[in-house]
Amino acid sequence: MAAQLSALLGAKVAGVDAAEALLAIARERTPEGDFRQGDIEALPFDDDTFDLVTGFNSFQYAGDPTQALREAGRVTKTGGMIVMMTWGEPAGMEAASLVGAMKPLLPPPPHGAPGPFALSEEGALRAFAKAGGLTPGAVFDVDTPWFYPDEATALRGQAAAGVAVKAMEHSGEAAFMAATRAALAPFRQPDGSFRIGARFRCLVASP
């Protein structure tokens, strides 16, 4: 979606994902984009390629997050920017209840694995960027409420997330659907649609 919106604004876009199925969706939505299957710890691009590199809730989940950040810095041009996006602080955020509903359905995380809100605190996010050799700059929050016209669309949207796929693989689709319906229920509007408040935190860094 970010690539599609950026292309509509005139940007030349590229992207990397480990999942070929998701790359196929990106190519369909943005045929002019350069989308490649790969690993964020070894980006398939030359040094100093991009003016802007973005990571949407991604860098912290790499096998070696520090290396992933170094790679982001490597492919960014001098004077360019790297934007790291993560969840905003969970306190008071409605979407946090849907994230929490997945926890009982997932396999036990590896020892020391970061939780979904591990970088939500500004100090932790800045320290994470520095550990990867980046120079952190501005931090800002973006409100991104989720809107779904009906329950079927809401369930389909929630099921598309990577964590949802893992939950279904571990606990079954029926358990996932039941837990998600229950978590969505408080946000049902009188017309049957759903509105869920969500917030993301972004850090702008330089290589």
Residue 14 lies in a domain: no
Q: Could you tell me whether strands 194-196 and 146-148 are parallel, antiparallel, or unpaired per DSSP bridges?
A: antiparallel
- Mean per-residue pLDDT, 134-149: 96
Q: For residue 199, what are the β-bridge partners?
A: 143
Q: Return the pLDDT at 97.
A: 95
Say which residues have a Cβ less than 8 Å from residue 3's Cβ, sequence separation at least 6. 13, 15, 26, 29, 30, 33, 35
Q: Return the pLDDT at 190.
A: 97
The span from the CA of 46 to the CA of 4, in Å, is 23
Residue 99 lies in a domain: yes
Going by pLDDT thresholds of 50, 70 and 90, the confidence category of residue 198 is: very high
Going by pLDDT thresholds of 50, 70 and 90, the confidence category of residue 163 is: confident
- Per the structure, the count of domains in the chain is 1
Residue 13 lies in a domain: no
| Cβ density class 107-134: b for 16+ within 10 Å, e for less | eeeeeeeeebbebbeeeebbebbeebeb
Domain interval for residue 177: 39-206
Residue 10 lies in a domain: no
Q: Return the pLDDT at 1.
A: 84
CATH assignment of the domain containing 75:
3.40.50.150
Residue 195 lies in a domain: yes
Of 78-82, 90-94, 160-164, 178-182, minimum mean pLDDT range: 160-164
Residue 2 lies in a domain: no
Report pTM.
Answer: 0.86
Nearest C-alpha neighbor of 160 from the set 54, 2, 19, 62: 19
Residue 24 lies in a domain: no
Residue 16 lies in a domain: no
Percent of the residues in the chain that have a pLDDT greater than 70, as a whole number: 100
- What is the H or E stretch that residue 43 is in? none
pLDDT tens per residue across span 21-60? 889 989 999 999 999 999 999 999 999 999 999 999 889 8
